[in-house]
Structure 1
């Protein structure tokens, strides 16, 4: 597995907030899916409330 950096923004109570996180995944699509799942599980956000702008391999 490779490590990917995922950047984007999510909808918080006071507007959109930027994020950057590292994810271990097999490819960029899986890294993006892990990010959606992570925000959904931890913050209770739906996919429409998370915008992934960039997925970059490290």
Structure 2
């Protein structure tokens, strides 16, 4: 497993909120899916409200 850093922003109550998180994943696509799932669950967001800007290893 590799570590990926995912950055982006999501729709918050006060406008756009930026985030940067590091996850362990098999590849870049799995890292994207994990972050979308986790942010959606934690903040009650739909995938269309989350914008991923960059995924780096």
**TM-score bracket for the superposition, by shorter chain length:** over 0.9
Q: Alignment RMSD, CA only?
A: 0.5
Q: Scaled by the length of structure 2, what TM-score is found?
A: 0.96
Q: How many residues align?
A: 57
Alignment-derived partner of residue 42 in structure 1:
42
Task: Name 1:10's counterpart in structure 2.
Answer: 10
Matching of residue 28 in structure 1 with residue 35 in structure 2? no
- TM-score after normalising by structure 1: 0.95
Separation of aligned partners in 2, 1:35 and 1:24 = 11
Q: Which runs of 4+ in 1 moved over 6 A?
A: none
Question: Partner residue of 2:55?
Answer: 55
Return 5+ residue gaps in structure 1 as ranges: none
